[in-house]
Amino acid sequence: MTTQTPFDRLSDRFNRNIYNSPKGQIRLALLQQDLSALLSTPAQLILDAGGGQGQLASWCAQQGHQLVLCDMSATMLEEAQQLARAANLQAQFEFIHSPIEDFCQQDTRQFDLILCHAVLEWVTDPKTLLESLEQRLKPGGKLSLMFYNRHSIVLRNALRGNFRKALSPNLDGDGTGLTPINPCDPQQIEALLEGLNLQIESRAGVRCFYDYLPLPVRKNYSFEDILELECRFRQQPPYIEMARYIHLIVRKPNTLN
């Protein structure tokens, strides 16, 4: 089993500091923007790997798709179930309490689309997780992979004057807070995907600017204004390299070359 942070204990902090905050709303809006075209075909079978409290999965279910939501946190899984019940979407969900790698080994289904968002940075071995997801992705299927960008930690600490942290070779969280235990180098992740013969179809940043804006600037501009700024530049270098998260849409070939 891959070691992860104790999300049962952190669930309230995730809900308060991420999902119910502008940065979480920006993240959700940008992911929905990226996924809209992929969800245009009805009745897909979707695996939400590490789906947490189910916000994005519920949106996918509202588009008419069947969801398998797998998470190792019983607390977050219960919150996802409550969200599905509140939206009357229970019939479109299957909830699995398990580490993702265990589920991928035990369940032989193949999925049209796999969502893996803000999970890769919480495991000690990203390669093993990606291998497990590739096995469950059907030929021609898509993987929506969003991960915490290691370079954003350096930039944010430098802008705050925390040079010691920015210069430190150790940027990992200690597992007690919301800083992930294994923030990802985008080049390394893309190399792992290439090694699995998975084809990257698109790249985009998630929160290229918001996390670096001074608090007075955040307060002076509306959510819509900030979202417009994010949308305008999120697929362009160098802004994508500054983003808090990198979002890749990846395709598994129909046949091996």
How far apart are the C-alpha atoms of 201 and 58, rounded to whole Å?
25
How far apart are the C-alpha atoms of 205 and 29, rounded to whole Å?
12
Question: Which residue segments constitute the domains of the chain, with CATH numbers given?
Answer: 7-149+184-251 (3.40.50.150)
> Where does the pLDDT of residue 46 fall: very low under 50, low under 70, confident under 90, or very high at 90 and above?
very high
Per residue in 233-246, pLDDT (tens digit) is 999 999 999 999 99
Supply φ then ψ for residue 40, to 5 degrees: -70, -25
Per residue in 109-135, pLDDT (tens digit) is 999 999 999 999 999 999 999 999 999
Does the N-terminal peptide bond of residue 238 adopt cis geometry, omega within 30 degrees of 0?
yes
The predicted pLDDT at position 43 comes to 84
**Distances from the Cα of 225 to the Cαs of 81, 217, 249, in angstroms?**
33, 11, 26
The number of angstroms, rounded, from the C-alpha of 104 to the middle of its chain's C-alpha atoms is: 18
User: Percent of the chain having pLDDT more than 90?
Assistant: 86
- Six-digit token pair at 15? 């809900």
- Six-digit token pair at 57? 């999965």
Question: Mean pLDDT lowest for which of 70-79, 230-239, 241-250?
Answer: 70-79
The predicted pLDDT at position 1 comes to 40
Per residue in 213-230, pLDDT (tens digit) is 999 999 999 999 999 999
